[in-house]
Amino acid sequence: MIDTILDPQIWLVLVAVVHAVVGVILPTEWEDDTNKLVSGWFLLTTVTMLGTAFLLEGEAMARMAVVIAGPVWVWFVIICAQGLEWNLGKTQMTMNWKDNAPPLVLWGILALSGLLGSGWV
């Protein structure tokens, strides 16, 4: 049962879809060129996750899940701890724990599922 819940392929696809739709496509102001540039760059992560989920298997897929999600999770922890502010177009956002709990959980579970399936632990 736990192997199914922590299957890296499931989490790669889930995080890729949530990242693309909720994290990039919906909040982007598509009239703004800077938003388009940044969003396009962010969507490359989605392509990488889907490629990993469907083109690799076993330990290779799990290790790539760690390589993709681990640094993202660490970066979220760092920027939330520092309370960094950023603006894209007219929108200014302060990185905090409350607003970033969902991505922290998703990226963390993806990294954990990859670590557990990697053969490294």
Q: What are phi and psi of 95, to 5 degrees?
A: -75, 120
pTM summary value: 0.88
Question: Residue 88 above 70 pLDDT?
Answer: no
- Per-residue pLDDT averaged across 5-9, rounded? 92
Of 2-16, 46-60, 102-116, minimum mean pLDDT range: 2-16
Question: Residue 89 above 70 pLDDT?
Answer: no
- Per-residue pLDDT averaged across 86-110, rounded? 87
Report the number of distinct structural domains present in the chain: 1
Q: What is the extent of the structural domain holding 94?
A: 2-117
